[in-house]
């Protein structure tokens, strides 16, 4: 049985001050995180230490938005898995479409980062998703399948259950346009079938597949009700304590 994972990707929002306020707001609205739901927040790197201090023993996981695949060295502007663990991260988002589009992330670097994260006990939240043009050309399934296969190349069955996949159609990110529940389920089901080609049935079944792309309190219930939608990777709505906790509560109700 997969547990819902409700994850906030704060992107380039919230320095340490705002991070502290937002997390305090979430704590006030939801002093007790529902037992059936896992909750993750991914602030910008500069705010991770503050987030870790504010979260303290609050039952919310901390994650980063990117990581390098080397341990250390001359990689200006980058951070390593060790550094992220040192400040309390247990998850890391890898291969978000914004990193692929603006920062030259490729299937190859995504794969190297997934492998490195797993090796160092960080759970990768691997992002995949098609552009509008790809969907219009009806190559979206093929593209996403290729992204999943490439990202998981050489990832062994014994640690693949630590991988979380986030299906994020690029045309739905920050646009207010959401995939319909049927479109999301169709893609999630396809991704799970790719996983069962790569791994045995139990392993494929254990992997959580999140939906991302304008998930909000008003559409979360119908999306999260789909059998292969195991949570959300939430951008805009994770930046407000009330909308984020509303989605957490919807996941609890459905659990
Ligand atoms: O990582 C999160 C996604 O890019 C979704 O962002 P959004 O909820 O603002 O559309």
Round to whole Å and give the CA distance between 230 and 238: 17
Encode the chain (255 residues) as per-residue pLDDT tens digits.
899 999 999 999 999 999 999 999 999 999 999 999 999 999 999 999 999 999 999 999 999 999 999 999 999 999 999 999 999 999 999 999 999 999 999 999 999 999 999 999 999 999 999 999 999 999 999 999 999 999 999 999 999 999 999 999 999 998 988 999 999 999 999 999 999 999 999 999 999 999 999 999 999 999 999 999 999 999 999 999 999 999 999 999 999
Number of domains in the chain: 1
**Domain ranges, residue 198:** 4-254
Round to whole Å and give the CA distance between 218 and 90: 29
> ipTM above 0.95?
yes
Give the H or E element holding residue 51: helix 48-55
- Return the pLDDT at 1: 81
Residue among 103, 104, 118, 7 at smallest CA distance from 69? 118
**What is the CATH number for 193?**
3.20.20.70
Which residues contribute to the annotated binding site for substrate?
Answer: 9-11, 174, 214, 235-236
Q: Does 63 sit in the ligand 1 pocket, CB within 6 Å?
A: no
Round to whole Å and give the CA distance between 84 and 108: 21
Round to whole Å and give the CA distance between 199 and 160: 9
Round to whole Å and give the CA distance between 167 and 180: 13
Ligand 1 midpoint to CA 204 (Å): 25
First to last CA, the chain: 10
- Return the pLDDT at 181: 97
Q: Which of 167, 231, 234 to mutate to test the pocket of ligand 1 (most atoms within 8 A of CB)?
A: 234
Q: Does 8 sit in the ligand 1 pocket, CB within 6 Å?
A: no
Q: Does 236 sit in the ligand 1 pocket, CB within 6 Å?
A: yes
Cα dihedral 1, 165, 15, 242 sign: negative
Round to whole Å and give the CA distance between 75 and 113: 14
């Amino acid at each position: 049985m997969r547990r819902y994972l409700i994850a906030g990707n704060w992107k380039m929002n919230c320095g340490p001050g705002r991070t502290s306020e937002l997390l305090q707001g979430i704590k006030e609205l939801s002093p007790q995180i529902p037992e059936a739901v896992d909750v993750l927040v991914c602030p910008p790197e500069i705010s991770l230490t503050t987030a870790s201090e504010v979260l303290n023993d609050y039952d919310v996981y901390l994650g980063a938005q990117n990581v390098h695949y080397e341990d250390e060295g001359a990689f200006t502007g980058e951070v390593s898995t060790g550094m992220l663990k040192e400040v309390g991260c247990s998850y890391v988002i890898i291969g978000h479409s914004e990193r692929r589009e603006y920062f030259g992330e490729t299937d190859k670097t995504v794969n190297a980062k997934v492998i490195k994260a797993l090796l160092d006990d960080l759970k990768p939240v691997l992002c995949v998703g098609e552009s509008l043009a790809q969907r219009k050309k009806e190559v979206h399934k093929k593209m996403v399948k290729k992204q999943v296969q490439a990202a998981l190349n050489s990832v062994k069955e014994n640690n693949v259950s630590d991988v979380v996949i986030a299906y994020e159609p690029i045309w739905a990110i920050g646009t207010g346009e959401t995939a319909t529940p049927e479109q999301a389920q169709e893609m999630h089901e396809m991704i799970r079938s790719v996983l069962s080609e790569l791994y045995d049935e139990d392993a494929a079944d254990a992997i959580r597949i999140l939906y991302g792309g304008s998930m909000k309190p008003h559409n979360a219930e119908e999306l999260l009700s789909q059998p292969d939608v195991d949570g959300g990777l939430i951008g805009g709505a994770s930046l407000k304590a009330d909308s984020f906790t509303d989605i957490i509560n919807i996941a609890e109700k459905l659990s």
